């Protein structure tokens, strides 16, 4: 695959980015937002619109590959990469990535991905979201150039013997952890509900009693609402390491 050009477009993410450390301190809800000030460096508010950059690779055969340099919801917490501004992401792409890709020919995905993953900016690896989005675009490009799916490219280039199969869908309720469960059950989501249990006093309970009540409700809700008697979703609860 030969890359003729690389385009970068600022976008917003599907969800938001949250200051998890502030939320764990017990910040109260204010509608969809939170009250109080953030504590994690880089946040102007506890809940903010997420930022991302879409990377577009123009290939010499006329095909176009896409990747999204998107951050995680809880940047800067729990060992995750620190928050990056939109300007920082774009600067890394223009200064370090685009010059490496434009006009280059790659035989496949793996070599190109390893090169991007190893690039340094001021002695440090590029932002996690930049490496994620650019390698995503490179994988798409390799798939287009070879006439394979992206899963088949990974299987071939990394010598993976695992069968290519459907990936179970895992859904997340957000803060509306009751009504959104009904939506998941109606659509027979494979794993649910995540639950966003990110604070002790209102979501977990000092002895876990609030969460226990929720899980009991969840089980009964699946059994009472499902329309397919063979629907048995996996229950997955994320408590974000909340502690007493």
| Tens-place pLDDT, residues 17-52 | 999 999 988 899 899 999 999 999 999 999 999 999
Angle among Cα 29, 35, 37 to the nearest 5 degrees reads 140
Q: How far is CA 121 from CA 103, 170, 217, in A?
A: 21, 35, 50
Residue 170 lies in a domain: no
Which residues make beta-bridge pairs with 193?
A: 236
Residues 184 and 148 reside in one and the same domain: no
Residues 134 and 64 reside in one and the same domain: yes
Residues 19 and 123 reside in one and the same domain: yes
Residue 133 lies in a domain: yes
Residues 35 and 94 reside in one and the same domain: yes
Bond from prior residue into 198 cis (ω within 30 degrees of 0): no
Residues 226 and 127 reside in one and the same domain: no
Residue 168 lies in a domain: no
**Tokens standing for residue 83:** 């928050």
CATH code for position 126: 3.30.390.10
Residues 192 and 229 reside in one and the same domain: yes
Residues 143 and 79 reside in one and the same domain: yes
**Tokens standing for residue 224:** 């009472």
Q: How far apart are CA 244 and CA 231, in angstroms?
A: 35
Q: How far apart are CA 85 and CA 96, in angstroms?
A: 16
Residues 57 and 136 reside in one and the same domain: yes
Residues 131 and 184 reside in one and the same domain: no
Residues 39 and 135 reside in one and the same domain: yes
The per-residue pLDDT for 244 is: 52
Residue 193 belongs to domain spanning = 179-237
Residues 127 and 194 reside in one and the same domain: no
Pairing mode, strands 120-121 and 124-125:
antiparallel
Residue 78 lies in a domain: yes
Number of domains the chain is built from: 2
160-170 tens-digit pLDDT: 998 999 999 99
Q: Could you tell me the pTM of the whole model?
A: 0.87
197-243 tens-digit pLDDT: 988 999 999 999 999 999 999 999 999 999 999 999 999 999 987 76
**Tokens standing for residue 84:** 């990056």
Angle among Cα 130, 136, 83 to the nearest 5 degrees reads 25
Question: Can you list the positions of beta strands (E) in 149-215?
Answer: 191-194
């Amino acid at each position: 695959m030969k890359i003729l050009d690389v385009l970068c477009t600022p976008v917003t993410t599907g969800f938001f980015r949250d200051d998890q450390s502030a939320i764990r301190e017990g910040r109260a809800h204010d509608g969809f937002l939170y009250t109080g000030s953030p504590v994690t460096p880089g946040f102007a508010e506890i809940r903010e619109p997420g930022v991302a950059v879409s990377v577009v690779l123009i290939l010499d055969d006329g095909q176009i590959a896409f990747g999204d340099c998107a951050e995680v919801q809880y940047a800067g917490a729990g060992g995750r990469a620190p928050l990056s501004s939109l300007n920082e992401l774009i600067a890394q792409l223009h200064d370090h990535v685009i010059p490496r890709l434009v006009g280059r020919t790659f035989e496949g995905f793996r070599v190109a991905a390893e090169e991007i993953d190893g690039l340094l900016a001021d002695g440090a690896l590029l932002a996690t979201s930049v490496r994620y989005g650019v390698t995503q675009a490179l994988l798409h490009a390799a798939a287009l150039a070879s006439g394979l799916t992206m899963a088949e490219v990974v299987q071939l280039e990394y010598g993976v013997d695992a069968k290519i199969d459907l990936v179970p869908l895992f859904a997340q309720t957000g803060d509306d952890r009751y009504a959104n469960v009904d939506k998941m059950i109606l659509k027979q989501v494979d794993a649910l509900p995540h639950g966003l249990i990110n604070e002790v006093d209102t979501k977990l309970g000092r002895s876990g009693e609030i969460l226990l009540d929720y899980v009991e409700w969840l089980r009964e809700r699946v059994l009472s609402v499902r329309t397919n008697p063979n629907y048995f979703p996996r229950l997955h609860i994320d408590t974000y390491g909340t502690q007493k």
